[in-house]
Amino acid sequence: MSNEATRDAPRTEDSRFGYAALVGRPNVGKSTLMNRILGQKLSIVTAKPQTTRQQVAGIKTTEKGQVVYIDTPGIHLAAKKALNRYMNRIAQAAFQDVDLVLFLIEAGRWTRQDENVARSLKKVDVPVFLVVNKIDLLPDKRELLTFLDREVRIGRFSEVLLIAAKNGDGVDDLENRVMEELPFSRPFYDEDQFTNRSERFLAAELVREQLMLRLHKEIPYALTVEIESFKREDGLVRIGAVVWVERKSQKQIVIGKGGDVLKQVGTRARHALQDLLEEKVFLRLWVKVSRDWTDNERALKQFGYDDG
Ligand SMILES: Nc1nc2c(ncn2[C@@H]2O[C@H](COP(=O)(O)OP(=O)(O)OP(=O)(O)O)[C@@H](O)[C@H]2O)c(=O)[nH]1
Ligand SMILES: [Mg+2]
């Protein structure tokens, strides 16, 4: 699990260190950007909004210093359930204790949810960079200028950066600008550490990603993954995970006819886990019901959605 780019970075006093939060409404590309910066898959990504549910720190060490990027859940309106309120709370908590906020939006799309995030960023007392992502989808530069001027009103932000996280356009420039903004300080993390999250957490996320990709409608939002066992033995990693859903009917859908859905998800997740761990993986999945867990504070805590 080592990160090639982080090796041999010097630990001198003139290197920089700090935290940068990636915030924005769901689906703007926060997790894609973090993975692109780290050069590896850390945060899960799907085309569905509200994919990320927790803060995930990605640590990038170079010869200039160390930046801890904090990926966050998309801040959304109409957060009726306890899980949604948790996600918004966790995302907004990242505004504090960082040196810089990167506020991501989509080129050409400014919604009520973006305005809501912009409004809550007013109280932040560190610089806020506006990061306009997905510029590949809006190649007409004149259109982009009008959009930024009229809809986004970019005068409110310290800086504006144009990127396409998916193909990497503008990402080197963004990283350089972030580094320049951070204080001179020693790195806090070892240079080969690329996240603050445990293997168990990352494993649960990779399984959840495959479930979110494979399933539709309300199901991706009604499930969570809990790692029950994680053992290294006989030259492989044995992982047992429970997929929790809210109702019996959802359990049937997740399992599929003759178990085909769960089997396909399991195979794909096992491959993803092997890429992450660089070890052979044996994965067992079960599906269980925890009635209406997304609106139950106690169940949320049990499944790791904990403010602590
Ligand atoms: N065309 C294009 N698509 C992108 C780009 N960046 C991200 N995407 C796509 O946008 C979708 C959402 O990406 P995510 O990285 O999951 O977005 P997010 O902001 O982390 O979303 P939440 O976790 O739900 O808040 C995925 O389908 C990505 O492939 C980009 O630069 N260009
Ligand atoms: Mg995300």
Q: Does residue 113's CB lie within 6 angstroms of at least one atom of ligand 1?
A: no
Name every residue whose Cβ is closer than 8 Å to that of residue 172 and which is 6 or more positions away in sequence. none
Alpha helix (H) residue ranges in the chain: 30-38, 82-93, 112-120, 141-146, 171-181, 199-214, 219-222, 248-255, 260-277, 297-302
**pLDDT digits over 150-160, tens only?**
999 998 898 99
Compute the distance from residue 125 Cα to the ligand 1 centre, in Å: 27
DSSP 221: H
The whole-number average pLDDT for the span 248-266 is 98
Query: Atom of ligand 1 at shortest distance to CA of 137?
Result: 1
Compute the distance from residue 72 Cα to the ligand 2 centre, in Å: 7
Name every residue whose Cβ is closer than 8 Å to that of residue 187 and which is 6 or more positions away in sequence. 9, 11, 15, 17, 61, 65, 66
DSSP 189: S
Does residue 304 sit in helix, strand or coil? Answer: coil
Q: Does residue 26's CB lie within 6 angstroms of at least one atom of ligand 1?
A: yes
CB 135, CB 108: distance < 8 Å:
no
Predicted pLDDT at 3: 47
**pLDDT digits over 96-142, tens only?**
989 999 999 999 999 999 999 999 999 999 999 999 999 999 988 89
Predicted pLDDT at 12: 52
CA gap 247, 288 in Å, rounded: 9
Q: Does residue 164's CB lie within 6 angstroms of at least one atom of ligand 1?
A: yes
Report CA 45 to chain centroid distance, whole Å: 7
**pLDDT digits over 199-248, tens only?**
999 999 999 999 999 999 999 999 999 999 999 999 999 999 999 999 99
Ligand nearest the Cα atom of residue 167:
1
Q: Does residue 195's CB lie within 6 angstroms of at least one atom of ligand 1?
A: no
CB 65, CB 19: distance < 8 Å:
no
Name every residue whose Cβ is closer than 8 Å to that of residue 230 and which is 6 or more positions away in sequence. 199, 200, 203, 237, 238, 239, 240
Q: Does residue 51's CB lie within 6 angstroms of at least one atom of ligand 1?
A: yes
Predicted pLDDT at 18: 98
CA gap 43, 132 in Å, rounded: 20
Report the residue among 25, 45, 84 best suited for mutation to probe ligand 1: largest number of ligand atoms under 8 A from its CB. Answer: 45
Domains and CATH numbers, the chain: 4-181 (3.40.50.300), 199-302 (3.30.300.20)
Structure tokens at 26: 């769901």
